[in-house]
Amino acid sequence: MSVAILTDITKCIGCLECVSACKTVNNLGTDVPRVWQKNDGLSAQNWTSVLQKPGNHYIRKQCRHCLEPACASVCPVGALQKTPEGPVIYDSERCLGCRYCMMACPYGIPRYDWDQVVPYIRKCIMCYDRLQRGQQPACTEVCPQKATIFGERDELLAEAHHRIKQEPDTYIHKVWGEHEVGGTSVLYISDIDLGFLAYQPNPGATPLPATTRLAMKAVPFAFVGMGGRCMESTGLFDDG
């Protein structure tokens, strides 16, 4: 079983309690807008942010903790890993700073300590240490509106569909994160379209690691094949 977070956009009032709690729990520094930040509020010091959209819509942005994360599949040293519990966590001891995870993420989530001489990748880890102590993530715990809730992924999906069924006129009939890029552990239901959270509004249901898997599978064949082809041309096989 894996855990997940469900955020109901219709309930969020944009109070930023989640952002504040995240900062406290993860010992993040003061948030200062830097020239290298993308204008979505996320930064090395801000692992979750609240975007404001016209008409009092507040959308909390955070790592989606994909079921098959692109970042973890491309990390050459396995510094990013998908845990069986659900969160995608980061091991700074292993990281070599290639930033391939930042390039690969379809949601543009991982951030970098650009101003540090010893920089690390920064992103939400779903308060993994709190989960292990049996607590829930700080953001879901403090939410005064219960707009973002924590639980088992299956139960939250059921809850999401239940809410949509209850108020079909309010919600768009879609759970963001149910199938996107193979499913994510952070789900959204909303009354406005959330396509802007990803680089492509409809990223499809294929997990991104599948795109490189075929090429990576071909590697040993290409290696042996090329060697064989070369030996053949030199006439090494003709002797027999």
Partner 1 sequence: MNNRVRITKLILWSIVGFAGAVGITRFLFGLGATTNLTDATPWGIWIGFDVMAGVALAAGGFVITAIFYIFKREEFHSFVRPAVLTAFLGYLAVVFGLLFDLGLPWNIWHMMIYWNPHSPLFEVGWCVMLYTTVLLLEFSPVPLEETSRYARIRRILMKFRFPLVLLGIMLSTLHQSSLGSLFLIMPFKLHPLWYSHILPLLFFISAVALGLMMIAYESLVSHWLFRRKPETNLVEKLAKAAVWVLSIYFIVKMADIWLSGEWHLMFDGSWESYLFILEMLISTVIPIILFSIKKVRTSTAGQWVGSSMVVFGMIFNRINVGGLTMLRATGDTYVPSWMEITISLGVVSAACLAFLFAIERFHIWKEKPQDPEWEPYTPPVFDHTSEVWLGTPPLAARTKYTLVLLLSFALGFALIPSHKIESKGVEIVPVQKARGGDTLFIDGNHDEYGVLFAHTQHIDSLGQKQSCDKCHHMNMPMDKATGCWECHRYMYSPTDAFNHDWHADAHGGNIACTQCHPKGKERQAETAKKCDDCHLDLLPSDNPIKVENYTAPPYVTAMHELCVSCHKKKAEELSDKKNLALCTTCHQSAPPKYLKAEISKHLSGPYFNHVVIPGVNLKQEKEQLHKNE
Cα–Cα dist 120/112, whole Å: 6
Which range of residues in 3-11, 156-164, 166-174, 201-209 is near partner 1 by CB under 8 A?
A: 201-209
Which of residues 135 and 212 has its CB atom nearest to partner 1 in the complex? 212
Cα–Cα dist 65/136, whole Å: 15
**Residue list 19-48, contact with partner 1 (CB under 8 A):** 20, 30, 32-38, 42-43
Beta bridge partners of 37: none
Q: State whether the Cα torsion 199-204-206-211 is positive or negative.
A: negative
- The structure tokens listed for 160 are 């999401």
Which range of residues in 7-15, 128-136, 154-162, 187-195 is near partner 1 by CB under 8 A?
A: 7-15
Binds partner 1 by CB under 8 A, chosen from 132, 135, 170, 211: 211
Which of residues 168 and 227 has its CB atom nearest to partner 1 in the complex? 227
**Residue list 146-185, contact with partner 1 (CB under 8 A):** none
Q: How far is CA 6 from CA 79, 110, 157, 235, in A?
A: 26, 20, 8, 64
Which of residues 34 and 165 has its CB atom nearest to partner 1 in the complex? 34
Which of residues 3 and 148 has its CB atom nearest to partner 1 in the complex? 148
CA within 13 Å, CB half, 75: 24
The Cβ of residue 66 has, within 10 Å, a number of other Cβ atoms equal to 27
- The structure tokens listed for 57 are 């819509």
**Residue list 103-142, contact with partner 1 (CB under 8 A):** 103-104, 106, 108, 111-120
**Residue list 46-105, contact with partner 1 (CB under 8 A):** 52, 56, 58, 70, 73-79, 94-100, 102-104
Question: From the CB of 210, what's the least distance to partner 1, in Å?
Answer: 10
Question: From the CB of 94, what's the least distance to partner 1, in Å?
Answer: 5
Cα–Cα dist 197/107, whole Å: 6
